[in-house]
A = this chain, B = another copy of it.
Amino acid sequence: MKNCIVAQSGGPTAAINASLAGVISGVINSNEYDTLYGALNGITGILDNRLLNLSKIFSKNPTMLDQLILTPAMHLGSCRYKLPNYNEDASVYQQIFAFFQDKEIEAFFYIGGNDSMDTVDKLAAYAQQIGSSVRIIGIPKTIDNDLCVTDHTPGFGSAAKYVASSCLEIAHDSYIYKVKSVTIIEIMGRDSGWLTAASVLARNGYSTAPHLIYFPERAFDLNEFLEDVKELLTKQHNVIVAVSEGIRDKDGNYISASTKTVDTFGHSQLSGAGKTLEYFLNQHLNIKVRSIELNVLQRCASHLASKTDLEESFQLGEHAVDFAEAGKTAVMLTINRINDTPYAVEYGCVPVCEVANKAKDVPLEFITTRGNDLTDEIITYLKPLIQGEMPVTYEQGIPTYLPVDHLLFD
């Protein structure tokens, strides 16, 4: 028997199950591998032996695979677990590789973000040290799009499509009153502004919202912000601002850190960047100001997923199985862009050590001199990633997703 195991880790995206579906499809169609196990809740499912037999479950019912592609978050559950350095504590590693031997595992696929690639890196290094032939392969995902080497990350395109579509819908909501107003939309991305940048795709033939866009990559200046807003208000009624949750001042302090919420018990907690800017403008402008936090739906609104994103994510999963069969290990899959128009990609892999614990920011040359908008180059980069819609099915008026009973009742 030659078996494989797959797990998912980190924060949810709308595409991480599409990569899982790709791995399942790859193993079901493989001549090399027999069973594909799924470990529940990331690497911890290996440590406490909580498994699904995915190849069995999904080969019985092929339509489930289509449903899986479209289901948000992690079908196998997630974890936030950092492996210790194996030179300091090898016991977890010994347990994992004993499990691999016991289950006749030849390949381990880990679908996740930056932290998960650290796990892949460490496991692969340990495998090499003990002379294990188990292939350790990372499949990227993150709505933040901040992984290195790969042109973009699975999950980003769907989040970007949600952000752009929501910004357009919020623009329609804002344009109805003939009174001066500012609407601030706070977008996820603590350290990188890629998702905030995607708000630029909301612009169309009649709507130029968001009219101002701010990123963590460039120091944020409250006075310049106020000037920018005031200047726009001389020309238009409604100003719509897209802002990353992670904007910082020139000293690196989060803008959100300047406003605290104090409850009746005297405890305080930080507000978000959007709320902070709302309060700030309310002090300086006598007009309607509101802030809207695009919440976790950015990463889990699968009904609005990007077809391009889900197809690529699935492909990465299938290719991961191919790479394992071809003997690759200690690698992370990558999407390599061949062409912008027509958009074309191919799939590859790079040593995971080139990716783990590194981050890719929005390059400063994509941001305008004033720091409040983007250049056209980034639109060319971003636009293909949100193209296409998936055939979502609805039951009783809500989207049909694949049940996750195994996460709820184990």
Q: Are A397 and B175 in contact (CB under 8 A)?
A: no
Asked whether A260 and B258 contact (CB < 8 A) given A293-B295, A300-B173, the answer is no
Q: Which of B40, B73, B173, B395 contacts A296 (CB 8 A)?
A: B173
Q: Bin the interface of chain A by size.
A: 35 or more
Residue A363 at the chain B interface, CB threshold 8 Å: no
- CB pair B302–A201 under 8 Å, yes or no, is no
A387, closest chain B residue (CB): B397
A262 near B263 with CB under 8 A, answer no
Q: Is the CB of B388 within 8 A of A74?
A: no
| Among A170, A176, A236, A403: residue with most chain B CB under 10 A | A176
> A165, B398: Cβ atoms under 8 Å?
yes
Whether A175 lies near B77 (C-beta < 8 A) is yes
A366-410 interface (Cβ within 8 A of B) = 383, 386-389, 392, 394-399, 401, 403-405, 407-408
Give the number of times this chain occurs in the complex, counting copies: 2
Whether A178 lies near B279 (C-beta < 8 A) is no
Bound CA–CA A408/B181 (angstroms): 13
Contact B175 A236 (CB under 8 A): no
Report A327-357 CB contacts with B as 1/0, cut-off 8 Å.
0000000000000000000000000000000
User: Contact flags (1/0) for A152-193 with B, using CB distance below 8 Å?
Assistant: 000000000100111011101101111000000000000000
- A71 CB within 8 Å of chain B: yes
Q: Quick check: is A269 within 8 A (CB to CB) of the other chain?
A: yes
Contact with B along A237-262 (1 / 0, CB 8 A): 10000000000000000000011111
Task: Please provide the chain A residues from 255 to 285 with a CB less than 8 Å away from any CB of chain B in the complex.
Answer: 258-265, 267, 269, 271, 275-276, 279-280, 282-283
Whether A261 contacts B258 by the Cβ 8 Å rule is: no
Q: Write the residues of chain A forming the contact surface with B, with a CB cutoff of 8 angstroms.
A: 12, 40-41, 44, 71-74, 77-80, 161, 164-166, 168-170, 172-173, 175-178, 201-202, 204-207, 236-237, 258-265, 267, 269, 271, 275-276, 279-280, 282-283, 292-297, 299-304, 306, 383, 386-389, 392, 394-399, 401, 403-405, 407-408
Given contacts A172-B71, A276-B263, A389-B394, contact A178 B300 (CB under 8 A): no
Knowing A161-B398, A397-B161, say if A169 contacts B301 (CB, 8 Å).
yes
Q: Please, which residue of chain B has its CB at the minimum distance from the CB of A401?
A: B172
| 3 pairs of A and B residues whose beta carbons are closest in the complex | A386-B397, A206-B403, A78-B176
- Given A176-B73, A260-B261, does the pair A395, B300 have CB atoms closer than 8 Å? no
Apart from the given pairs A261-B271, A292-B296, 20 other A-B contacts in the complex at a CB distance below 8 Å? A41-B176, A41-B177, A41-B178, A44-B178, A77-B176, A79-B177, A169-B303, A172-B404, A173-B296, A204-B398, A205-B403, A206-B405, A236-B408, A261-B262, A263-B283, A267-B283, A293-B295, A386-B397, A387-B396, A389-B392
